[in-house]
């Protein structure tokens, strides 16, 4: 995510709790864990974190910062003793949700002696939160559950993380894989066809041919009555590139009337919005057109369903693929991108957990005179990054608070799996591991769950924190 381009890249929050798009959710019926019984998250035993604590390593001396959307009812969690009384909070705007509190609870259960911090990365800017937690809170571990659309070129977060890592050999960044795999994402080459569009013959993306089926210039999606659809489009041109393709995107109804339309060239990002104000579900069609005469060789487009209702179950695209794991941070080698397996079936990948690999088409070099501070050079061959790195359980039992009373329910989505890995890193660092040892130990000792050692869905596998700890003590 080029944070200098936040208004163009369009954050779609891969958590946003009960109403957001792409991440955590408080769903399901109350679990069979008593309130106040101590550790309720099933991830503790599944990832063998209990064994590391039994050896005396509880996260003491380690600082864990969380970037999420809000800690609205933080005081009630602290009064209920599910979070410590002392907590660093940078929340310049009143948050909208308590998902930050839920993530903090997970970290606190597994690494109870770690110091905790929070920054509101939705209301504030994301890189600003990274800097705040690293420089003011002095975090050793930062975990977030915000996903940003776009890929194809390095973002400014990568350069910032590298700068901060140089100052703290323990700094580990943990990021969610995201929850758009359930038909909420598409990536493919710009196969061409022509259609009559807004009264003119236009060259458009043939979704059917690009997906290996019969010709079809439309990617349809059904919007429920009252629903708000947001589609985010990106393509593999560089920001502010003089030779960029001119792309236009249209949403059409079933009578080919234009419901929404937008165009861009310099910034390879588009956003389409549509609200179904009728009382019935409505099927609409996405068309992506290119300026006539512009070469389309090697042009690749991605589409993300980033609507406020896209929370684990998106409004499904007719044509969908994989490849969004980690969002725009999927190309940062030192970041642990975490997918989700279900706590009740810890070796089974959740259907919403995003797959990799993640694609990069450009390198970036700093240039203070450029619009976003970077110049971009197209690579001879795109890099495919092995993300996600790990999986951990979601749909874990966490003592939530609604500001009035505690309830014990399941927290689902990769927003719930990522903080367990942050806690795992805290346990290992309290045992003397630095960043390099944490990354190597967790990746090397993960239990492989895919066909190959690295799998597009499972990454290197299900984390085994006790095995990671033992690997560093031999």
Sheet bearing 300-305, strands edge to edge: 185-189, 300-305, 228-235, 269-275
Q: What is the mean pLDDT of residues 272-300?
A: 91
Q: How far is CA 347 from the centre of its chain?
A: 21
Give the tens place of pLDDT for each residue, 443-464. Answer: 999 999 988 899 999 999 999 9
- Give the pairing type, strands 335-342 and 390-394: parallel
Both structure tokens of 29:
């019926």
Cβ neighbors of 51 (< 8 A, separation 6 or more) are 465, 466, 469
Please give the Cα distance from 175 to 173 (Å, whole number). 7
> pLDDT above 70 covers what percent of the chain?
88
Both structure tokens of 326:
């980690």
- Judged by DSSP in three states, 44 sits in helix
Q: Could you tell me the pLDDT band of residue 232, with boundaries at 50, 70 and 90?
A: very high
Query: Is residue 29 predicted with pLDDT exceeding 70?
Result: no
Instruction: For the chain, give percent helix, strand, coil, nearest 5.
Output: 20, 35, 45
CATH of 3-181+325-471, one of 3.40.50.300, 1.10.10.1100, 3.40.50.150, 3.40.50.200: 3.40.50.200
Please give the Cα distance from 214 to 110 (Å, whole number). 51
Tell me which H or E stretch contains 76.
helix 74-79
Class of domain 185-305: mainly beta
Query: Is residue 26 predicted with pLDDT exceeding 50?
Result: no
- 181-192: string of b/e by CB count within 10 Å (b at 16+)? bbbbbbbbbbbe
Domain residue ranges of the chain, discontinuous segments joined by +: 3-181+325-471, 185-305
Query: Is residue 148 predicted with pLDDT exceeding 80?
Result: yes
Q: What is the DSSP string of 318-352?
A: SS-----TTGGGTT-TTEEEEEEEETTEEEEE-TT
pLDDT at 308: 65
Answer whether 0.85 is exceeded by the pTM.
yes
Phi, psi of 150 (to 5 degrees): 100, 150
Please give the Cα distance from 163 to 171 (Å, whole number). 11
pLDDT at 291: 85
Q: Could you tell me the pLDDT band of residue 96, with boundaries at 50, 70 and 90?
A: low
DSSP state of 37: S
β-strand partners of 200 = 197
- Give the pairing type, strands 88-90 and 115-120: parallel
For residue 16, give the nearest of 144, 132, 106 by alpha carbon. 144
DSSP state of 414: H
* Cis check: omega of the bond before 357, within 30 degrees of 0: yes
């Amino acid at each position: 995510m080029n944070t200098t381009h936040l208004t163009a890249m369009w954050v779609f929050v891969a958590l946003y709790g009960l109403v957001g798009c792409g991440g955590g959710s408080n769903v399901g019926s109350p679990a069979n864990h008593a309130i106040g019984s101590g550790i309720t998250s099933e991830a503790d035993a599944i990832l063998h974190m209990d064994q590391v604590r039994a050896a005396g390593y509880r996260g003491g001396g380690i600082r864990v910062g969380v970037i999420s959307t809000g800690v609205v009812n933080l005081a009630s969690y602290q009064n209920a003793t599910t979070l410590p009384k002392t907590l660093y909070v940078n929340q310049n705007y009143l948050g909208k949700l308590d998902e930050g509190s839920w993530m903090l609870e997970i970290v606190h259960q597994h690494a109870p002696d770690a110091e905790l911090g929070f920054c509101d990365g939705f209301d504030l800017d994301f890189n600003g939160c990274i800097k705040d937690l690293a420089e003011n809170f002095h975090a050793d571990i930062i975990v977030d559950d915000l996903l940003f659309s776009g890929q194809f070129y390095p973002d400014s977060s990568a350069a910032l993380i590298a700068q901060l890592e140089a100052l703290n050999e323990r700094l580990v960044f943990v990021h969610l894989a995201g929850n758009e795999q359930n038909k909420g994402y598409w990536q493919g080459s710009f196969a061409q066809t022509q259609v009559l569009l807004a009264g003119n013959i236009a060259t458009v993306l043939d979704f059917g041919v690009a997906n290996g089926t019969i010709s079809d210039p439309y990617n349809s999606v059904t919007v429920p009555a009252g629903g708000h659809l947001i589609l985010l489009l990106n393509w593999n041109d560089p920001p502010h590139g003089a030779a960029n393709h001119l792309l236009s995107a249209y949403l059409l109804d079933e009578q080919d009337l234009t419901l929404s339309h937008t165009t861009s060239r310099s910034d390879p990002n588009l956003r389409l919005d549509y609200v179904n104000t009728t009382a019935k579900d409505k099927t609409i069609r996405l068309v992506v057109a290119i300026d006539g005469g512009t070469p389309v060789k090697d042009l690749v487009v991605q589409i993300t369903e980033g609507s406020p209702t896209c929370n684990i179950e998106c409004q499904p695209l007719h044509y969908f693929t994989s490849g969004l794991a980690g969002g725009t941070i999927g190309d940062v080698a030192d970041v642990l991108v975490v997918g989700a397996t279900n706590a009740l079936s810890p070796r089974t990948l959740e259907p919403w957990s995003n797959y990799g690999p993640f694609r990069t088409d450009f390198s970036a070099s700093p240039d203070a005179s450029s619009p976003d501070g970077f110049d971009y050079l197209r690579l001879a061959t795109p890099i495919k990054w092995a993300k996600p790195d790990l999986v951990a359980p979601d749909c874990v039992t966490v003592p939530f608070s609604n500001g009035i009373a505690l309830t014990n329910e399941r927290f689902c989505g990769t927003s719930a799996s990522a903080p367990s890995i942050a806690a795992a890193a805290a346990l290992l660092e309290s045992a003397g591991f630095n960043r390099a040892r944490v990354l190597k130990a967790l990746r090397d000792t993960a239990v492989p769950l895919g066909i190959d050692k690295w799998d597009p869905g499972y990454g290197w596998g299900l984390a085994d924190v006790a095995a990671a700890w033992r690997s560093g003590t031999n």
